[in-house]
Structure 1
């Protein structure tokens, strides 16, 4: 089922994916997946409703007459339309999911992403970890590294979508959600750096920074 594939790819259940989407925490690729999944869930609910109505009418103790047959016919028509819409959304969600799975498989097979120099510098700034916070009043999201530097939230989204960092969303946002490099993120930093990318502060060797 798609929910199993989504969980295998993202680590989120369908409900968690929708919650993170509502909080605007997902990178663009997962945002598109969440929107497709949300539309699919709505069509699934519609199918379940009409199927329940069909069971209700077919189990009715009323005598089979013209009125009952007309209601059954009407419900069957609605159910057929709902199933058709559901299947279309199922295909649409699978179409969004497939390239994300392919990208994840490519990363697992050792291909390193081609980062811009700014994003490489942002990734480097996350070597010692960071926290994603949401201001209680303004609801503004901010990423603060262990050294106190602030990173743009869109940069974090791009790095997360590329599989280079992971955010521990088990923690509440107001308390700060830990951000850490993935194994792929660490391998990417060890590889060739883009031109004009920042290096570790205070002359610290990159390998030493990654071990900290």
Structure 2
């Protein structure tokens, strides 16, 4: 369901509103963008209600129903429902516009760095939940993720140096240190597609990985 803010949102965030909603469902957005996505979702619902009552009114006016007091009552009731839906839609639009304003003020945002495809895959896996573990016998460090994506400790350090992930060092390594995306890491995953400079691997965003792990057999 298109809205009056679609083009403004796409211009401010750098990608379409459907992708914004997917990023929100995947938990990849920072607080301002998450608030915008939530407000936009409510606006779409309100816009759908306006369309519903508008179509109903058109059917009543163009149908072969007898022109009597019952029809007048149905038209009047539908007009009231349409007016209420439009008022709700206008209020939701104002909320969405207020959430969009600070993002528009910051646009264009600084382009996130281009990173290798394997690093994008690692960030996607970490977004689903990840922990750094130390093996009790070998003392080898490894990152465990629900998607079983292989992330070496060296790659984790590389992502940390880039400021894309962070560890909760309040937890001991043998029990598992939670690894999460930073705002910069989320920005990499939600950034518009760009061609990388010569000698680098572009980092297109794969489809969001399911939250449920798939156990290899």
**TM bracket (short chain):** 0.5 to 0.7
Aligned counterpart in structure 1 of residue 36 of structure 2, from 27, 33, 37: 33
User: How far is 1:147 from its partner?
Assistant: 4.0
Which sections of structure 1, spanning at least 5 residues, go unmatched?
109-122, 175-212
Q: Distance in 2 between matches of 1:7 and 1:43?
A: 20
Whether 2:26 is the aligned partner of 1:23: answer yes
Q: Distance in 1 between matches of 2:152 and 2:10?
A: 28
Whether 2:183 is the aligned partner of 1:157: answer yes
- Which residue of the partner structure matches residue 111 of structure 1? none
Aligned counterpart in structure 1 of residue 146 of structure 2, from 134, 138, 151: 138
Which secondary structure state, in structure 1, belongs to the residue aligned with residue 85 of structure 2?
helix
Aligned counterpart in structure 1 of residue 207 of structure 2, from 168, 172, 180: 172
User: How far is 1:138 from its partner?
Assistant: 3.0
Which sections of structure 2, spanning at least 5 residues, go unmatched?
129-144, 160-164, 167-178, 194-203, 210-217
TM-score by length of 1: 0.61
Q: For the aligned residues, what is the CA RMSD?
A: 3.7
Instruction: Assess if the C-alpha contact under 8 Å between 1:28 and 1:157 holds in 2.
Output: no
- Which residue of the partner structure matches residue 180 of structure 1? none
Write out aligned runs for 1:41-120 (5 A). Answer: 41-105=44-108
TM-score by length of 2: 0.59
Which stretch shifts more, 53-62 or 137-146? 137-146
Instruction: Assess if the C-alpha contact under 8 Å between 2:14 and 2:191 holds in 1.
Output: no
Q: How many pairs are equivalent?
A: 157
Q: Higher RCO, 1 or 2 (CA under 8 Å, sep at least 6)?
A: 2
Which secondary structure state, in structure 2, belongs to the residue aligned with residue 15 of structure 1?
helix
User: How far is 1:55 from its partner?
Assistant: 0.5
Write out aligned runs for 1:197-212 (5 A). Answer: none
User: How far is 1:10 from its partner?
Assistant: 1.5
Which secondary structure state, in structure 1, belongs to the residue aligned with residue 124 of structure 2?
strand
Higher-helix-fraction structure:
1
Q: Distance in 2 between matches of 1:40 and 1:141?
A: 37
Q: Distance in 2 between matches of 1:28 and 1:141?
A: 27
Q: Distance in 1 between matches of 2:148 and 2:29?
A: 15
